[in-house]
Amino acid sequence: MSFTVAVAGASGYAGGEMLRLLLGHPEARVGTLTAHSNAGSTLAEHHPHLHALADRVLEPTSVEALAGHDVVVLALPHGASGRIAAELEALGSGAVLVDLGADHRLVDAADWEAFYGSPHAGTWPYGLPELIRAEHADTQRTALAGARRIAVPGCNVTAVTLGLQPGVAAGLVDPQDVVAVLAVGYSGAGKALRPHLLAAEALGAATPYSVAGTHRHIPEIAQNLRSAGAAAVSLSFTPVLV
């Protein structure tokens, strides 16, 4: 049975990767594609490798454009996806909503407000099937089956969680003495042009960022390690652009 999928934020890296995956799904039918500043342009201007969708014109992001699909993927900055999701729900949309942004990942509203500085949009089922849930008999994969709302985990979060949670669950890793230093790619910063992301500035360099406990993925990593059985988590996390 086929299903229709709309993608909000289709001109960005996350939206483009989602479209690449959807084109390989035999039952997915790509519907409306939207963007903000790139509305009115064709998808080929942003993702020339997606030949099957090259002539699609990006519409302005609105609930009216997204409603009526079976699935809506939100590849939007934090804050924007929470707002659009709330508007779709208020409109009575029955679509499955998949948030590639951060808005619905955290359980603790205080963590969200401390790291993001805005009201918490709520918590959706966490889209990491491999997540260990120490206090639950069923698995995260089971919990996701049939979910109508899915919060996709962060990139750095996925790497650290998959690497450490088995050791935490088995009692082999002390969750109060965790140090994670990640070498990350520049695509994680998005497509916006910034001087420090230019090749002339970046080639041959290794640049730490969001240091001293300020990175927004820290509470999400800690949340996942607690899910694996950690009573408390102390994490030193430093991403390095390479």
Residues with catalytic annotation?
155
Q: Which of 97, 41, 101, 33 is nearest to 62 (CA)?
A: 33
- How far apart CA 74 and CA 8 sit, in angstroms, is 5
CB 106 within 8 Å of CB 130? no
Compute the distance between CA of residue 184 and CA of residue 78 in angstroms, rounded to an integer. Answer: 20
Q: What angle in degrees, to the nearest 10, is found between the helix axes of 218-227 and 155-169?
A: 30
Contact 59, 15 (CB under 8 A): no
Contact call for residues 68 and 43 (beta carbons, < 8 A): no
Contact yes or no for 58/41 (Cβ under 8 A): yes
Question: CB–CB of 101/78 below 8 Å?
Answer: yes
Q: How many residues does the chain have?
A: 242
- Please name the helix (run of DSSP H) or strand (run of DSSP E) that holds residue 223, with its range, or none: helix 218-227
**Which residue type, as a one-letter code, is found at position 223?**
Q
